[in-house]
């Protein structure tokens, strides 16, 4: 407990799934959390759940604020940062978690699908970084955690252009990490593998045989299970905390070893 005491963190896409798990983990560790989410009602519900969960765990004074945010719009992200600062003070941590899956055939993909993928998965990350970096640089301290994917370094046919955007996230992480290292601002990434979220269940349920699709996914995993959102959240807590002061411009893979395993 209290690994993030007195810190203020903004998490994009924090209404559900990995983002919600990160926000809860941060609050349990003492951070004030801002849930920057496109769906405000979902974010507000999650914020209430976080405060209730902390109270039930005997953690008094948990602070969670929901702010409607469209990460594809720089002005919207800047508004979320301003709301966070007004409510809790200067931002110590940013987690760029918001993202979407766009899987297309390259030659039949529409221009709109290409732009939609990059607007959220890469531009959205840059918009977040650009909004918080001036304050972090001025104070000489800060931690940015970008949620990438194992698609950032492994290509799966049929998933274009998602891995292209995620490769960009790793490049952005490395470039900004080096650029602002002299000012003690760390920029790192987490690359989750298969994580059990509602989107995962929705995909299984969309298949002709959901049970078979579920089992096929498990069969690919070295640990014979898929990851849990809270396992990604634990890594985010570490990177955001003072326990990782010399980790910068790096990416931590959270996939149970899946990306190491060879399949023919």
Catalytic machinery residues: 162
The strand order across the sheet containing 64-68 reads 64-68, 32-37, 8-12, 93-96, 142-147, 185-192, 251-254
Give the chain's length. Answer: 264
Return d(Cα 88, Cα 90) in angstroms, integer.
7
Q: Are the C-beta atoms of residues 96 and 12 closer than 8 Å to each other?
A: yes
* Residue 35 DSSP one-character state: E
Sorted by sequence, the CB contacts under 8 Å of residue 137 that are 6+ apart come out as: 180, 183, 185
Helix%, strand%, coil% for the chain, nearest 5: 50, 15, 35
The residue whose two tokens read 């298969």 is 194
Closest CA to 220 of 189, 259, 246, 163: 259
**How crowded is the C-beta side of 240, counted as CA atoms within 13 Å?**
37
Can you tell me the distance from the alpha carbon of 64 to that of 200, in angstroms, rounded to the nearest whole number? 26
The SS3 call for residue 185 is: strand
Which residue shows structure tokens 């209290």? 2
């Amino acid at each position: 407990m209290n690994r993030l005491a007195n810190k203020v963190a903004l998490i994009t896409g924090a209404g559900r799934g990995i983002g919600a798990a990160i926000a809860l983990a941060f609050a349990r560790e003492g951070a004030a959390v801002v849930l920057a989410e496109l769906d405000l009602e979902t974010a507000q519900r999650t914020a209430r759940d976080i405060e209730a969960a902390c109270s039930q765990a005997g953690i008094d004074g948990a602070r969670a604020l929901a702010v409607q945010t469209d990460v594809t719009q720089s002005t919207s992200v800047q508004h979320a940062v301003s709301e966070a600062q007004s409510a809790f003070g200067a931002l110590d941590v940013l987690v760029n978690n918001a993202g979407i899956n766009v899987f297309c055939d390259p030659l039949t993909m529409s221009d709109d699908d290409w732009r939609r993928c990059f607007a959220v998965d890469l531009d959205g990350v840059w918009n977040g970084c650009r909004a918080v970096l001036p304050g972090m640089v001025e104070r000489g301290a800060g931690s940015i955690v970008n949620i990438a994917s194992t698609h950032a370094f492994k290509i799966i046919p049929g998933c274009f252009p998602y891995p292209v955007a995620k490769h960009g996230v790793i490049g952005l992480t490395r470039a900004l990490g080096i650029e602002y290292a002299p000012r003690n601002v760390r920029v790192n990434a987490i690359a989750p593998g298969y994580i059990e979220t509602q989107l995962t269940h929705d995909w299984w349920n969309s298949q002709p045989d959901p049970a078979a699709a579920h089992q096929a996914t498990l069969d690919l995993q070295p640990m014979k299970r898929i990851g849990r959102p809270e396992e990604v959240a634990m890594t985010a807590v570490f990177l955001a905390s003072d326990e990782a002061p010399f980790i910068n411009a790096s990416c931590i893979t959270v996939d149970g070893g899946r990306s190491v395993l060879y399949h023919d």
